[in-house]
Structure 1
Amino acid sequence: MKLTQKPAIKALFKSAKQELTEDPNQRIPVHLTVTTTSKTNVRVPGQRGMNNISVPYVIPLHHKIHKSISQAKILLIVPHPTAKYAEIFQADEASTKDTFADIISVKKFRPKLRKDPLSVGKDFDLIVADSRIHEEVVECYDRLSKKISLRHLTKPFPIRFIQPGKEDDARDANMFADPDYVKAQVRGLLRSTSVTLPRSMACEQGAVNLTALVGYLPDNTAKEIEENSHRVANNIVDNLVDGGARSTKTIYIKSPKTVGLPIWRLEKEGQTLEEEE
């Protein structure tokens, strides 16, 4: 899929320049949104053996947009009791000794989320949960979303504590988790972006918007935003949109203070976005 990005990215940087003059320390997020045509279904590829819409769809990026694992604040949600897992992941010899800013049980996470959900999202760069209790964690978000809007909050990512196929060996060794395997998953997530899938996969009326973060200004250059956008747009259209490009109405990028800036549009009367520019 050929995208026309340069005019949109130029407009983004122009807007960001003014914002950064007012507050030089801020990081301005840039999101890409794929809008489907009406009545288009969204496919749900299985990830890590979990074919579930509660699992954010992960897309590896050309250029990193998140902090490195040593700089990021990461929250790990575990089954109760917490102490058993903290002892493993924060042991002096563990590779994850300095990986997690906090380890909390799902039992204690529920009231924390209910009390101040936006703070939870801002306090951590990444939130991950043991895959065995991930559904339980997501239900906390779903119940809360009926009362307030949580559309800007990314749901926690599930991670496996033991590598698939090695569960029996771990059980024999009385090992609850493998820090090296967990750290590898966290590192992979920090090198990726994600799409939170809609609850309804079959859209009977309107279009579906599929959105992913593709960079921050001024951290990422125009070329990095362009290459990340290209990878994310093509991945979403090829893997999530039933019908691919034929069922994609428009693709645009935007920052919080700009309108949606189109970089691709479904051909209309033989005319493409590139020809319209």
Structure 2
Amino acid sequence: MAPSKSVTLRSETAVSLVDPDQSLKASKALLAHMKKASKEKAANAEKKDLLADPEDEEGSKETPIWLTLTTKRHISDSRSLKPGKIVLPHSLNTDPEIGICLITAEPQRHYKNLVASDDFPADLRKRVTRVIDVGKLKAKFKTFEAQRKLFAEHDVFLGDTRIINRLPGVLGKTFYKTTAKRPIPVEIQARVPKTDGKRVKRTKDANTPNACTSAQLAGEIERAVGAALINLSPTVNTAVRVGHAGWTAEQIAENVDVVAKTLVEKFVPGKWKNVKSIYVKGPETAALPIWLTDELWLEQKDVVADGSDEAKAIIAGEKANIGKKRKSLEGQPEEAEPVAKKAKKTKAAKVDKDKLPESDDTKLDKEIADRKAALKKQKKAAKKALEV
């Protein structure tokens, strides 16, 4: 079936935000569908999984749930190797056995002391399995074998915002060929106080590193580990993990509302005017819409109404361009078929140039003149239609 040429004109009305009730309805429907599909899959399985958790008969509780955002134009001009993060009301990573590698600015010893301090939570200290500065990281993990070993030893990698842009050159494609374990930026330098609403310039001291306190470092790590990660790329589709199948519908809906609002306001150019649709989905499910735009295009100049004078002028101009690009071949002699190459040329194979027919340029000149005249008429008609 041929695609429709009808176009929805952009309205100037404000776009409404995501309705929390719609998010909750979609979350309930998605969880119910995933549980039903998991039961059917387990019932139709030829072999029963004896190692499966008996308390998790309705499917894996760790199955991710995604929020999918589609925009009218690309969300970014280039692929970003530094993921953005959105702090969620319900953390995505609460596993007490997760391994965290913290990559800091120099000196490494000062940040190790912060983690070992009494002000740093003991349960979080068990999860921070390595603290290393960028200088030692570059010297110790030069080879691919060492980088792959480091990649496998930890579950989450955090990078100081001051050195996060240097890490792609240090860690290479071992870490950056996928988005699974790219270092997450964390702000661990000293907080600058404000006086009368203005930040006071920090006095530099060679003996004192520019670092936050142990409590502030712990808070930054907790927020980064449980945050939703945004990996920007030149595309109109962006997926963000917002929950797991083992959560309640209320928890997923709350995360969806926060991610949708923050993602659009912080990362989407043009904000809500550039958003086409927002969905929630599982890895193998259909996408359930929670918000759809009434506006197809971003700007008024991008579209014209069907049957208008502007549309007629554009169509007339396109036809004129087609005629302009084509060249007439009538009246020209047909090209001779290519002659196969021979090892030795003979006199009989040589072509007598005097016997070739002479080209008749008078016909060709007349056709070119006629086409130019027709093109001028079409341009005048198009210009008159635009002026009206």
Query: TM-score w.r.t. structure 2 length?
Result: 0.52
The question of whether the paired residues in 1 share the 8 Å contact of 2:31 and 2:245 is answered with no
What aligned pairs does 1:259-274 form with structure 2 within 5 A after superposition?
259-267=286-294
Establish whether residue 77 from structure 1 lines up as the match of residue 103 from structure 2. Answer: yes
State the distance in 2 between where 1:113 and 1:13 align. 45
Establish whether residue 193 from structure 1 lines up as the match of residue 223 from structure 2. Answer: no
State the distance in 1 between where 2:98 and 2:173 align. 26
Establish whether residue 227 from structure 1 lines up as the match of residue 254 from structure 2. Answer: yes
Match of 2:283 in 1: 256
**1:10–1:118 CA distance, 2 compared to 1 (3 A):** farther
> What's the CA shift string for 1:188-223, capped at 9, x where partnerless?
22443221222x5xxxxxx422222211221x1122
Higher helix share goes to which structure? 2
Equivalent residue pairs, number: 249
SS in 1 for 2:252: helix
1:34: Cα distance to partner?
A: 0.7
2:208 paired residue among 166, 174, 177: 174
1:93 paired residue among 118, 143, 160: 118
Given residue 238 of structure 2, which amino acid in structure 1 is its aligned partner?
A: L
The question of whether the paired residues in 2 share the 8 Å contact of 1:32 and 1:214 is answered with yes
Establish whether residue 104 from structure 1 lines up as the match of residue 132 from structure 2. Answer: yes
State the distance in 1 between where 2:149 and 2:38 align. 25
1:261: Cα distance to partner?
A: 4.0
State the distance in 1 between where 2:230 and 2:210 align. 30
The question of whether the paired residues in 2 share the 8 Å contact of 1:66 and 1:191 is answered with yes
State the distance in 2 between where 1:192 and 1:161 align. 20
SS in 2 for 1:189: helix
Match of 2:157 in 1: 127
**1:82–1:225 CA distance, 2 compared to 1 (3 A):** same
1:224: Cα distance to partner?
A: 1.0
Query: TM-score w.r.t. structure 1 length?
Result: 0.69
State the distance in 1 between where 2:205 and 2:107 align. 18
The structure with higher relative contact order (CA 8 Å, sep 6+) is 1
Unaligned runs of 5+ in 2: 1-17, 43-47, 194-199, 297-388
**1:238–1:129 CA distance, 2 compared to 1 (3 A):** closer
What aligned pairs does 1:39-78 form with structure 2 within 5 A after superposition?
39-42=73-76, 54-67=81-94, 72-78=98-104
- Stretch deviating more after TM superposition (156-165 or 19-28): 19-28
SS in 2 for 1:226: helix
1:169: Cα distance to partner?
A: 6.0
Higher strand share goes to which structure? 1
State the distance in 1 between where 2:295 and 2:210 align. 56
Given residue 181 of structure 1, which amino acid in structure 2 is its aligned partner?
A: Q
Match of 1:275 in 2: none
Unaligned runs of 5+ in 1: 44-52, 201-206, 270-277
> What's the CA shift string for 1:23-61, capped at 9, x where partnerless?
437521222121212x34449xxxxxxxxx554322222
The question of whether the paired residues in 2 share the 8 Å contact of 1:16 and 1:217 is answered with no
SS in 2 for 1:171: coil
State the distance in 1 between where 2:148 and 2:243 align. 21
Match of 2:36 in 1: 14
State the distance in 1 between where 2:220 and 2:206 align. 23
The question of whether the paired residues in 2 share the 8 Å contact of 1:75 and 1:124 is answered with yes
The question of whether the paired residues in 1 share the 8 Å contact of 2:184 and 2:224 is answered with no
Establish whether residue 151 from structure 1 lines up as the match of residue 179 from structure 2. Answer: yes
Given residue 251 of structure 1, which amino acid in structure 2 is its aligned partner?
A: I
State the distance in 2 between where 1:148 and 1:92 align. 32
State the distance in 1 between where 2:270 and 2:35 align. 33
The question of whether the paired residues in 2 share the 8 Å contact of 1:40 and 1:247 is answered with no
